[in-house]
A and B are shown apart, each in its own frame.
Chain A
């Protein structure tokens, strides 16, 4: 496992509240074209393709098969799909390149939340016998976690509002963000979370290209080398987890080498302001680290793509020379159940 692999290109759509006029494929196509254009590669040059999405958002089985038609998989391609956030598709592609079977990979992810009621849809992720029938929605579950943090003295409502304000202000520089600028905290959605503590609901897509060794140097002036990547899962039941902590994030970060040297940037997949508090502590990030310069998931949270976007945004900062060592994080499941951490570096 000694191959050097880098993110060499990243593209994303504008994230919008609804895209009724676009199919998933139509939403994805410009992003695929953009990421390929950045490297000059064509579909036929790509060694492995992997995507992340979830059928439940579109409300139909095999939704990802249509996206494959958009990729232009002819002649046939080496391809796979995870029913997860695209960050895990990137992980699968990274492993594939590590085996030596491929030198380049295209990774993409998309999610349209607009066709359904996202808060209801996400309840279908829960234990189908004991929890899902009660329909506890994603914001109510996040509110449980936020209240646990406040009760533990880890944060308070003004501090949460500060996280939200900082994120939306940072998003002013992000042309793709859905919510940016001065966003009022608003009323409680589920106490203690106000509108401002919660992510916008929206549609969006993202894609990255990975390449190994010299191939990466050919395709990108300053590749974002993946120095380590790991992901871990926790118990599903909220009752057996300490919601104020994220041991899976800590372990993944440790395995990814995040604690070996300080990072200058962290792109955290924290859809709720309160989750940034948990992640900052687990990742031991102090005030010297620039957290979510893109605005993070509070500015745009296209479900199934938002984690991949964190990896892409961190890599893009390295490409642009704005970061030398960045941490990227993705999450899945209720209250940060599953977490992925990658450490990216530019060559100085």
Chain B
């Protein structure tokens, strides 16, 4: 580190806004949808458009809506005219990465108050085929993300001896949690474990009810500095650490079950946040789980469980809303998946938990929470750890 380095400015989340996520928002344009989330975030922070210094926006591939570089078209709707506007794209991790890029603007003291927003309006196209890269770039009939991830889940099961039931336990939990979250897409009031287990097999071992939906939705956050946080009408969430890590899509040494980039990213965040024992020190986790089996897999990757032990935490109920380490109290990606926004929703829900504003899905006494996102072929990771108190260092 060079001598010229200055200490970073503290970053606080003072506003959060989401849309009610649904399969198709036919009542609004893309611009109308993102504006809805942004306005809710401004309202939460008791700020107006003129208080915003810069806008950082993210979404997953442009092909999902058939719109190239949508930040150009969305500048007006997001009050960005006359301001800096950045567009981040890091595949499925993009919502998290977008928030981190925005946080850097505050941490570096380039701007005081930044609006960050991520969205996807998947109803404008077909996400499954948007994710299926054309020949000759990939083998045909990969059929969306499930086709890519199923073999890695099978590898996890083989490696750890996890029983077949674990995936459905996660899905059943997340779908029940979603019932407590008014913004969640899937509200399956009649959900039972048996129904999850009886749902059709899509990509063995992934069943229909163990997959994420395709959602329309947006999530926005207002990030600000210490002075901005002091003016906030509601408790802020303080950023204690944030990091991104990437590794190649595929190479002989890659561990698709527990990628090194995920481990390194978590380790960096814990180091920044002074977390020595994540299992004990973190009160809630919003984890990117698009297919139910990724909960036990990421529990290990993120250091909450020893290798091969993640499924035991899940099976024992530790990750339930009233468990010792609630995972996805919001219902998670399994219940709501506007892809480009899903990572930011994880980050925002973690912040809601430590602000004590998560409503019915609030984890009692949550003081530190982790937001996690991943993307590509399990190759892009972004995470942040937020706390109810400002960082002490």
Interface on A for B, CB 8 Å cutoff?
1-4, 49, 54-56, 59-62, 64-66, 68-69, 72-84, 88, 91-92, 95-96, 98-101, 103, 121-122, 124-129, 132, 212-215, 230-237, 247-248, 251, 332-334, 337-338
Q: Which residue of B lies closest to A213 (CB)?
A: B2
In-complex Cβ contact of A236 among B75, B248, B260 (8 A): B75
Docked-complex contact B260 and A62, CB < 8 angstroms: no
Q: Which of B6, B91, B107, B243 contacts A2 (CB 8 A)?
A: B6
Please tell me if the beta carbons of B86 and A79 are within 8 angstroms of each other in the complex: no
A197 to B379, CA, bound (A): 43
> Given A55-B61, A233-B84, A251-B82, 17 more contacts at CB 8 Å?
A2-B4, A56-B69, A62-B133, A73-B247, A81-B88, A81-B90, A91-B86, A103-B1, A128-B73, A212-B2, A212-B5, A232-B82, A232-B83, A232-B84, A233-B82, A233-B85, A235-B76
| Interface secondary structure of B, over-half rule | loop
Q: Which residues of B contact A247 (CB under 8 A)?
A: 82
Asked if A80 contacts B88 (CB within 8 A), the reply is yes
Number of A-B contacts (CB under 8 A): 211
Contact A79 B73 (CB under 8 A): no
Jot down 20 A-B pairs with beta carbons below 8 A, ordered by A: A4-B4, A55-B61, A56-B63, A61-B131, A65-B380, A66-B249, A69-B248, A73-B261, A77-B247, A83-B69, A95-B108, A100-B1, A122-B68, A124-B66, A128-B66, A213-B4, A231-B84, A233-B85, A338-B72, A338-B85
A73-B248, A78-B243 given as contacts; is B379 within 8 A of A65 (CB)?
Answer: yes
Shortest C-beta distance, A333 to chain B (Å), equals 4
Whether the Cβ atoms of A337 and B376 lie closer than 8 Å is no
B117-142: which have CB < 8 Å to A? Answer: 130-131, 133-134, 137
Q: Do B86 and A55 touch across chains, with their CB atoms under 8 A apart?
A: no
User: Nearest residue in B to A23 (C-beta to C-beta)?
Assistant: B137
Question: Which residues on B sit within 8 Å (CB–CB) of A233?
Answer: 71-72, 75, 80-85
* Separation of A248 and B110 alpha carbons in the complex (Å): 18
Taking CB as reference atom, which chain B residue is nearest A100? B5
Interface residues of B (CB under 8 A from A): 1-8, 29-30, 61-69, 71-76, 80-91, 97, 100-101, 104-105, 107-110, 130-131, 133-134, 137, 243-251, 253, 259-261, 264-265, 376-377, 379-380
Partner of B104 from the list A3, A88, A96, A212 (CB cut-off 8 Å) is: A96
Task: Tell me the smallest distance from the CB of A302 to a CB of chain B, in Å.
Answer: 16
B82 near A248: Cβ-Cβ < 8 Å: yes
State in angstroms the CA–CA spacing of A103 and B5 once bound together. 9
Q: Are A62 and B86 in contact (CB under 8 A)?
A: no
**Minimum CB distance partner of B55 in chain A:** A233
Chain A nearest CB from B154 CB (Å) reads 23
A125 touches B5 (CB 8 A): no
CB contacts (< 8 Å) of A72 on chain B: these are 248
Interfacial chain A residues near B64, Cβ < 8 Å: 61
Nearest residue (CB) in B for A126 is: B73
Across the interface, do B88 and A62 meet the contact criterion of CB distance under 8 Å?
no
Complex contact B101–A80 (CB within 8 A)? yes
With a CB–CB cut-off of 8 A, which chain B residues contact A101?
Answer: 8, 104
In the assembled complex, the CB of A129 is this many whole angstroms from the nearest CB of chain B, namely 6
User: When chains A and B are docked, how far (Å) is the Cα of A104 from the Cα of B260?
Assistant: 22
Whole-angstrom distance between the Cβ of B70 and the nearest chain A Cβ: 8
CA distance A230 to B110 in the complex (A): 10
Q: Name B127's closest neighbour in chain A (CB-CB).
A: A61
Q: Which residues of B contact A2 (CB under 8 A)?
A: 4, 6
Residues of A within 8 A of B29 (CB): 129
A83 pairs with B62, CB closer than 8 A: yes
Residues of A within 8 A of B6 (CB): 1-3, 100
Minimum Cβ distance to chain B for residue A144 (Å): 16
Which of chain B's residues have a CB closer than 8 A to the CB of A91?
A: 86
CB <8 Å contact, A76 and B247: yes
User: Which of B74, B130, B261, B377 is A76 in contact with, Cβ under 8 Å?
Assistant: B261
B34 to chain A, nearest CB (A): 13
Inter-chain contacts of B65 with A (CB < 8 A): 128
Q: Are B67 and A62 in contact (CB under 8 A)?
A: no
C-alpha spacing A74/B110, complex, angstroms? 31
C-alpha spacing A323/B75, complex, angstroms:
35
Cross-chain contact A65 with B8 (CB below 8 angstroms): no
Given contacts A60-B134, A65-B91, A68-B379, contact A214 B2 (CB under 8 A): yes
Looking at the assembled complex, report how far the CB atom of B79 sits from the nearest CB atom of chain A, in whole angstroms: 11
Q: Which of A1, A80, A81, A215 contacts B2 (CB 8 A)?
A: A215
Query: Do B245 and A79 touch across chains, with their CB atoms under 8 A apart?
Result: yes
Q: Which of A61, A75, A92, A231 has the most CB of B within 10 A?
A: A61
- Cα A95 to Cα B101 with chains together (Å): 9
Contact B72 A64 (CB under 8 A): no
